[in-house]
Amino acid sequence: MKDFFFENPNERLKAKKNNLISLITKDILQESQYGFESYHLLYNNNGILNLSVKLQYYGSPWEDTKYLCFDTNADKEIGKALFVNQSKLLQIINKKLRSEESKSFIFKDLSTYKINANNKGKITSISFVFFDLNDRMNSGYPQYLVSFDWDEIQKYISPKYKNILSNK
């Protein structure tokens, strides 16, 4: 299968569609390991875009989900740069993971999170997403959330993004 790199999203979608039609026509869709994407918009306000991308391969029960956060004004992925005092935050996340989920895994990835907001766009919480890579299931790795309400997490938000996320 070819990789398609296009600046224009319409051209990329057209190329994916043509590739999919070709695989179906040749009856080789399953062995091609073709992946279908599903996007979920989690948060989109004041130039901050948080979304999840789910990928499932045709003929496979396996699903994989990635969580991404972008600063659309700067045209870059934010990831863990959203947070300050990261080592302290990781300690708190790991403590919550043990107490809330009874899991003793070490969470190290501050770039995997969901921004949760009310219907007015005000952030209510941020949930860090943890995949247990030691417990592979037929459909993927189990997913756990460690959530912080806005009052808990705001002291760990980078000053660069704090005012934006606070809608100030």
Q: Are residues 18 and 97 in the same domain?
A: no
Q: Are residues 97 and 149 in the same domain?
A: yes
Q: Are residues 15 and 94 in the same domain?
A: no
At residue 124, the pLDDT reads 94
At residue 136, the pLDDT reads 67
One pLDDT digit (tens) per residue for the chain, 168 residues: 445 555 676 776 677 777 767 777 887 766 776 666 788 899 999 999 999 988 776 666 667 788 999 999 998 999 999 999 999 999 999 888 888 766 666 778 899 999 999 988 889 999 999 877 676 666 666 788 899 999 999 999 999 999 888 875
Contact 55, 63 (CB under 8 A): yes
Q: Are residues 124 and 55 in the same domain?
A: yes
Domain count within the chain: 2
Q: Are residues 109 and 146 in the same domain?
A: yes
Within 10 angstroms of residue 67's Cβ, the number of other Cβ atoms is 20
Q: Are residues 42 and 116 in the same domain?
A: yes
Q: Range of 20's domain? A: 1-32
Q: Are residues 99 and 147 in the same domain?
A: yes
Q: Are residues 134 and 77 in the same domain?
A: yes
Q: Are residues 149 and 93 in the same domain?
A: yes
Q: Are residues 86 and 21 in the same domain?
A: no
Q: Are residues 8 and 83 in the same domain?
A: no
At residue 1, the pLDDT reads 43
Cα 148–152–156 angle (5° rounding)?
A: 95
Which tokens sit at 110?
Answer: 């501050």
Phi, psi for residue 56 in degrees, rounded to 5: -130, 135
At residue 159, the pLDDT reads 94
Which tokens sit at 29?
Answer: 């869709």
At residue 4, the pLDDT reads 52
Q: Are residues 11 and 45 in the same domain?
A: no
Within 10 angstroms of residue 132's Cβ, the number of other Cβ atoms is 14
Cα–Cα distance measured from residue 126 to residue 19, given in angstroms and rounded to the nearest whole number: 38
Long-range contacts of residues 152-160, Cβ cutoff 8 Å, at least 24 apart: 153/125, 153/126, 155/85, 156/83, 156/84, 156/85, 156/86, 156/88, 156/89, 157/82, 157/83, 157/84, 158/81, 158/82, 158/83, 158/84, 159/84, 160/81
